[in-house]
Structure formats: C-alpha cells, structure tokens
Structure 1
Amino acid sequence: MIMVAGAVIRNERQEILCALRSSRMSMSGLWEFPGGKLEPHESAEACLIREIEEELSCLIEVGSSIEDTLYQYPEIQVRLLTYYATIKSGVPVPREHEKLIWLPASELDGLEWAPADLPTVQRLMKGMNA
C-alpha cells in the first residue's frame, strides 16, 4: 500500500486548485488534488508542505483533514489523506502537472478525477467541513 497526501488548496474566493496529471505521470489526463507520497516517518502535513513546494513552488499552511480514502487500483492500493490548505507565499506554477485551474466546489464534478480523489470531491461538493 502507498500512503499519499493531497492538498485541497482554497484561494480567497473559496475556489479550489485542481491539477491535471501530465503525460509523464500515471493516469495522465485525470485531475487530482496536488500532493504526493509520504516519506518514511513523515506526517501527511509535512508531506504536503514538501510536495507543494516541489510541485507548485508555493509555501502552504495545512488545515483540517477532509477525507481518508482507501482505493484499490489494478496494480496498487492507495491510501489518500486529503487536507484543506491555503497558500502562505508564492503563486502556484505547474512544474509537474499539465495545468492548474481554480474552480468553485460546485463545479468540481465537471472534471474527470483520479478515482482515489472522488470521495474528497463528493465531500467538497456536499459542502461538508467547509
């Protein structure tokens, strides 16, 4: 099993940052919340701060937990922990992703999401934990 953390980054308009997986990534063409794999003995929060700095050139502040999802892909099982986050400094730049867009929660279902991210999308659209 792989432990992964995802950041639901909201801006001042309460829009959510969505990241399109590039052709260099598995599941290219699907959308996800940015983040990545936890290193050994690393907390999800520390992982998100490190990964967002690497992937988006931003410093974030990690907030409350949203979802804890276990998803079985054909080749691997993933446990995805998602958290609210806000940008403390920098402007997101897609260093690994194909592109980034900001959307209100009500429009998230218009994108084709990676399966492990869907429970978080559904929770955000219901307005829970807002």
Structure 2
Amino acid sequence: MQEIHVVAAIIEKDDKFLIAKRLKGEFKDLWEFPGGKVEPGESCERALIREIQEELNIHIEIQEFFINVLHKYPSFVLNMDCYICHMEDKKITLHDHSDIRWISLDSTDAISWVPADIKVIDAYKRRILND
C-alpha cells in the first residue's frame, strides 16, 4: 500500500488555531489543518513553509514539532508530521480551500474533520489541557 508523507501546520493565534475546509477531492468540505505533501529531498520544515505559502499565501514561523500521525485509508497510508506554528502575515488568501476558521478547543467537536486530523486534534486537546 502506498504511503504518502505530508506535513500540517497548527497555526496558533490568541488562544485559537486555524483550520481550513477542503475545496475538492475525496475529503471535500471536511476541515483539516493546512499543509501538504513533502517532495523528494525536501525537509519537513521546508515543505511546510512552502505548502502554507502556496495554499494560504502567508509566511509562518515554525515553533516546534508536535506529533506524527499514521492513518490508514482504504487506498493509502498517510504519514503526517504536524508542527505548532505562528503566522507572520495578517491577510490570508485561499488557493486550495473553500473557507478558513479560527477556532478554540471548545468548538472542535462540532467540526467535520478529515479522518487523520481527528488524531491530531485529540492530541492537541490533551496537550493544551495538560499545560
């Protein structure tokens, strides 16, 4: 089974974090942490900066590695490295998503998540609640 290596950004601001709604594909209209595929020979950090620039037209500062999630879908395995980030820009321009939201932890249960991102949000809740 094919494994796809991706990166995702948990972009924090004022006790909230950014989520993005998928514009197309198998998971259209579901919410996720923005990011994308790691290209051959590319570091995860470089891939994340590039993907966020391409998808949201913003620059991010990566604060720290957060979690690696492996999630088995019917046709592939997703290997996702997630990073805590902050954005350096104020204006977001959507290229690969239909919407974005800044949400707090108490609103995560009402979100229709991409399946792999459920593991990320569960770990993020544990982290924040234990801090």
Alpha-carbon spacing, 1:129–1:25, altered in 2? closer, same or farther (3 Å): farther
What residue in structure 1 maps to residue 6 of structure 2?
Answer: 4
| In structure 2, distance between residues paired with 1:67 and 1:109 | 20
- The number of aligned residues is 128
SS of match in other structure, 1:52:
helix
Q: Give 5+ residue unaligned stretches, structure 2.
A: none
1:90 CA drift (Å): 4.2
Deviations 1:31-51 (A, max 9, x none): 100000000111111111000
Q: Which amino acid in the other structure matches residue 81 of structure 1?
A: D
SS of match in other structure, 2:88:
strand
Q: Which amino acid in the other structure matches residue 19 of structure 2?
A: C
What residue in structure 2 maps to residue 82 of structure 1?
Answer: 82
TM-score (normalised: structure 2): 0.91
| In structure 1, distance between residues paired with 2:129 and 2:66 | 9
More strand by share: 2
SS of match in other structure, 1:109:
helix
Instruction: Please show how residues 44-59 of structure 1 align to structure 2 within 5 Å.
Output: 44-59=44-59
- Alpha-carbon RMSD: 1.5
1:129 CA drift (Å): 7.8
1:107 CA drift (Å): 1.6
Q: Which amino acid in the other structure matches residue 20 of structure 2?
A: A
What residue in structure 1 maps to residue 96 of structure 2?
Answer: 96
Q: Which amino acid in the other structure matches residue 35 of structure 1?
A: G
| In structure 1, distance between residues paired with 2:125 and 2:108 | 7
Instruction: Please show how residues 57-68 of structure 1 align to structure 2 within 5 Å.
Output: 57-68=57-68
TM-score (normalised: structure 1): 0.91
SS of match in other structure, 2:106:
helix
What residue in structure 2 maps to residue 17 of structure 1?
Answer: 18
What residue in structure 2 maps to residue 38 of structure 1?
Answer: 38
Deviations 1:62-115 (A, max 9, x none): 121111111111111110111001011242222110100000122222201111
The percent identity for this pair of structures is 33
| In structure 2, distance between residues paired with 1:129 and 1:42 | 33
Q: Give 5+ residue unaligned stretches, structure 1.
A: none
